[in-house]
Each structure stands twice: as C-alpha cells, then as structure tokens.
Amino acid sequence: MDFGLSKTEVLFQQMIRSFAENEVKPLAAEIDEEERFPIETVEKMGKLG
C-alpha cells in the first residue's frame, strides 16, 4: 500500500507553497497589524483554480 502523495498532489502542494511564499508571506505582518482580510490575495488564489 502506497501512502505517499500522487504526482498531482505533489504538484498542487508545490504550487500552494510557492503562492504562500510569494503572495501571502510578504503581506502577513501588514495584514495582522491592520486586522484586515486580504481579499486581493484571495482573488489571486482563485485564479489558480
């Protein structure tokens, strides 16, 4: 029995990790400080599928 991730799951994981590093991480402190919801980031995430 193989409990590892499929190739598709690995690619999805990599895509989400890259998005978080490039789009979320740079804004995280500002978002927390301003106590706001980053709708612009959610819209970009939606374009990923």
pLDDT digits (tens, 9 = 90+) for 2-48: 889 999 999 999 999 999 999 999 999 999 999 999 999 999 999 98
Beta strands per DSSP E along 1-49: none
Largest CA distance in the chain: 48
Q: In this structure, which amino acid lies at residue 26?
A: P
- Residue 25 CA to residue 43 CA, distance in Å, equals 16
Q: What is the pTM of this model?
A: 0.78
Question: Which pLDDT band, with edges at 50, 70 and 90, does 49 fall under?
Answer: confident
Overall size of the chain counted in residues? 49
- Residue 19 CA to residue 36 CA, distance in Å, equals 19
